[in-house]
Structure 1
Amino acid sequence: MGTWDVGPFDNDTAADFAGRLDDLPEQERPAAIRAVLTAVLAEQDYLDSDYAVEAVAAAALIAAQCPGGRPVDSAYGPDKPVPELPADLRPLAVQAIDRILGEDSELQQLWDDGGVNRAWHDEMDGLRAVLAKAS
């Protein structure tokens, strides 16, 4: 995974996810966002980082539509607008972030290899806080 910063779209896998969203008809984008969140939650064993970074990107798109959420203005995010997303995705995104921050998560372990990466955790905590407040 090529990663250049701690933001939700600051890695190759999330940028690819954004491109796949852009390729979908607008009405299919909410289902694609839901699918990456549910894939993370369905994983009972070790959570692969590719699933996790897609879920973080999806959570950022959801949070952007919440009060206090930051717009997704990354050059690596979707180019096409994301339609209004169903409110029931908000608690799903919170659960996905909690799973990603758990013990059996490759993404968490990659960021914390050699010690806790405070910048990444701050990013995740901020994203989770916006989503939880709006849930």
Structure 2
Amino acid sequence: MGTWDVGPFDNDTAADFSYTLDEAAEGEREGIIRAALVRTVDTHGYLDQDISVEAVAAAALVAAQCPGGEPITTAYGPDLPIPELPADLCELAVHALDRVVAEPSELMELWGESDQDGPWRATISALRNALLPQAPGEQLSLI
């Protein structure tokens, strides 16, 4: 995996996912995001890193539309706007992120072998926090 940082789009696979979204018709983008999340949630065995990376990128796009979510400002994210996504994608994105950090997950194993595991997990936690409605001041953490 060509990875250069811990952000949701800081790797080759996520950049390719962004390109796929940009090449799709506007009406197809939600389906591509949903499919990436469902594919991850529906994987019960060993979760391949490429599937995980797309799910993290998809979750970031959903989280960006949530109150308190970080906008996607990286040059490796989609260039074209993502249409307003339905609210049910928030819960699906949380389940996908939970699956990414649950064994057996290749992406989790790879980050666990690096010195950036903590910052990567913080990125996942921040996405998860944006996706979940919370009481004021409440923060969830996977670290």
With normalisation by structure 1, the TM-score equals 0.96
Match of 1:108 in 2: 108
Q: Which runs of 5+ in 2 are unaligned?
A: 135-143
Matches within 5 A, 1:112-131: 112-113=112-113, 117-131=117-131
Match of 2:37 in 1: 37
Deviation at 1:89?
Answer: 0.3
The alignment of Structure 1 onto Structure 2 pairs a total of residues equal to 134
Deviation at 1:42?
Answer: 1.0
State the alpha-carbon separation in 2 of the partners of residues 26 and 114 from structure 1: 37
Could you say what secondary structure the match of 1:2 adopts?
Answer: coil
**2:97 is aligned with 1:97:** yes
Matches within 5 A, 1:1-135: 1-113=1-113, 117-133=117-133
Instruction: State the AA in 1 paired with 2:122.
Output: D
State the alpha-carbon separation in 2 of the partners of residues 64 and 112 from structure 1: 26
State the alpha-carbon separation in 2 of the partners of residues 116 and 91 from structure 1: 27
Deviation at 1:133?
Answer: 1.9
State the alpha-carbon separation in 2 of the partners of residues 79 and 114 from structure 1: 30
Deviation string, structure 1 residues 47-102 (Cα, Å, up to 9, x no partner): 00000000000000000000000000110000000000010000000000000000
Could you say what secondary structure the match of 1:133 adopts?
Answer: coil
Instruction: State the AA in 2 paired with 1:83.
Output: P
With normalisation by structure 2, the TM-score equals 0.91
Deviation at 1:115?
Answer: 6.7
State the alpha-carbon separation in 2 of the partners of residues 130 and 6 from structure 1: 17
Q: Which runs of 5+ in 1 are unaligned?
A: none
Instruction: After the TM superposition, list the runs of 4 or more consecutive aligned residues in structure 1 that deviate by more than 4 angstroms.
Output: none
Instruction: State the AA in 2 paired with 1:124.
Output: I
Deviation at 1:116?
Answer: 7.3
